Structure 1
């Protein structure tokens, strides 16, 4: 009887702890998924290859969104890029590096709600809705070719980019260290917790991947302890228009977008894609299927 009571007591304590951990994850999930960075990464961002203009746009609910619009020096219309950053990323660095990353392209980089000078609080639904608005706003600029607007997303932002590209006529799609879903990564991290019942911000890119029509370029970090390659593999296997899947040498999850090798790859992919006649979508440059699907360095 005493042993039974002890077992029951231990089980009760474990149950309380389990419920407590689950409740804590539910209550703090916004902090777990997002890490709003207010301080600018670059104090006075300017692009050496563009005219740079700070902008403030209003989301559909009136929330102020702050960022930068960069336009090439020569007259348009130009191909264009909408950029979506990572979990902890303030996007002023994109302005500084736009000349190398996006030569000859108009670029829109706006901070998520709660990041930089943008107001409000981050949430998946807001990020996607705001992303669609940013795409539409950029495509409507008189100096932009609306048929050549690409979407680029890094890490957490890859989930935003996928959903925007699904619902808007994205010309091309670049995903930097993308994942199958934040839900899947959370379940891997909190194995004993029923995360699927409490996580609201799921970013389930794998659900939309097969429906994407834009040629998609995937860039992985050589060493990534934030998004394991297995989670990228699951996404890549479902992509509707995989163009190329590369691993950037000597990169990790944090430094990959700043590396010259990464920036040259993105610039080359987008420049080549934008140079194609509209409607001409070449295959993955005759790469062996196993090289593309395995995420090998090319």
Structure 2
């Protein structure tokens, strides 16, 4: 019996060591995927391929990193807001152009698409602290433009972008009028056991069980569940129930946390929505929900009361 217990203890220790080594060496590669397998980091297409009027934007974050973005301009007089879009963790903004094109058409809005540091044409290497600075630089740029209604800047974040957008909305209640989250996780800590199942015994957030002894090693925890309850602006939650990457429960937990302190929260789920295609599979209902949310919570003109 003693030999068996000793072997078990050694085995657990080896797993812990492997877990620690994996976290220390590879965690950024798991959280941030600027280049999709088999594809180049460079943009495969630009907005001109979709006949979109756009402006190449170059800005610098507060720590000096040079960032690239596209400002997509609605062609007719704009009645909708300006959407500050934050993408998922994989690929670059070029892979989201079809979504942005439909968004502009359905919502009659401008769209600002930021390349995080290390993504697309932006310099640097991704990290939570760095991307938080990047998001702030993008919002500051929009807030200083004279060709947008700065009282109607809405953040839209999907997956990782939802974590980024939540922090930005929390930090800027006077600059952001509303927040839209789609298929966003409660935290990277909770996602660790999903991405690497053996880690679930050593790492986790509020939605996880276990001793969580390795949490201190995570450099990009992106704990949206701890941020969402501090956001005062209206929030729309869009959840694909067939999400194969982020368990739909995460979106429900975020909503339940938000409504404890914010009465201007709406939650909608989509039975056929997967992680990346909820906007496509849900069809007209998806866009109609967003339109009604904006009509209710985002003023149509600068002079609206």
Q: TM-score, structure 1 length as denominator? A: 0.82
Query: Shift in Å at residue 278 of structure 1?
Result: 6.8
Distance 1:93 1:14 in 2: 42
Q: Does 1:139 align with 2:143?
A: yes
Q: TM-score, structure 2 length as denominator? A: 0.81
> Which residue of 2 is the match for residue 219 of structure 1?
238
Contact 2:79-2:300 at 8 Å conserved across structures: no
Deviates more, 1:182-191 or 1:54-63: 182-191
Aligned pairs, number: 279
- Aligned-residue Cα RMSD (Å) equals 2.8
Q: Does 1:112 align with 2:112?
A: no
Distance 1:21 1:27 in 2: 10
Where structure 1 has 5 or more consecutive residues not aligned to the other structure, the ranges are 282-298
Using a 3 Å threshold, how does the CA distance of structure 1 residues 280 and 238 change in structure 2: closer, same or farther? farther
Contact 1:59-1:130 at 8 Å conserved across structures: yes
> Higher strand share goes to which structure?
1
Query: Shift in Å at residue 241 of structure 1?
Result: 4.3
Using a 3 Å threshold, how does the CA distance of structure 1 residues 9 and 180 change in structure 2: closer, same or farther? closer
Give SS of 2:58's match.
Answer: strand
Contact 1:77-1:142 at 8 Å conserved across structures: no
Distance 1:153 1:113 in 2: 16
> Which residue of 1 is the match for residue 85 of structure 2?
83
Q: Deviations over 1:57-95 (max 9, x none)?
A: 222222221120112224679731111011104112444
> Which residue of 1 is the match for residue 13 of structure 2?
15
Using a 3 Å threshold, how does the CA distance of structure 1 residues 228 and 215 change in structure 2: closer, same or farther? same
Contact 2:183-2:275 at 8 Å conserved across structures: yes
Q: Deviations over 1:128-168 (max 9, x none)?
A: 11111111111211111111110010001100000000011
> Which residue of 2 is the match for residue 178 of structure 1?
184
> Which residue of 1 is the match for residue 205 of structure 2?
none
Using a 3 Å threshold, how does the CA distance of structure 1 residues 117 and 229 change in structure 2: closer, same or farther? same
Task: Indicate which of 35, 54, 57 corresponds to 1:55.
Answer: 57
Contact 2:79-2:301 at 8 Å conserved across structures: no
Distance 2:295 2:44 in 1: 26
> Which residue of 2 is the match for residue 191 of structure 1?
200
| Correspondence list, 1:115-126, <5 A | 115-126=119-130
Contact 1:47-1:98 at 8 Å conserved across structures: no
Give SS of 1:144's match.
Answer: coil
Query: Shift in Å at residue 263 of structure 1?
Result: 4.2
Q: Does 1:252 align with 2:286?
A: no
Query: Shift in Å at residue 187 of structure 1?
Result: 4.6
> Which residue of 2 is the match for residue 270 of structure 1?
294
Runs of 4+ in 1 over 6 A off after TM superposition: 277-281
Where structure 2 has 5 or more consecutive residues not aligned to the other structure, the ranges are 203-212
Q: Deviations over 1:201-246 (max 9, x none)?
A: 1111111212211111111112013111222222111112443211
> Which residue of 2 is the match for residue 295 of structure 1?
none
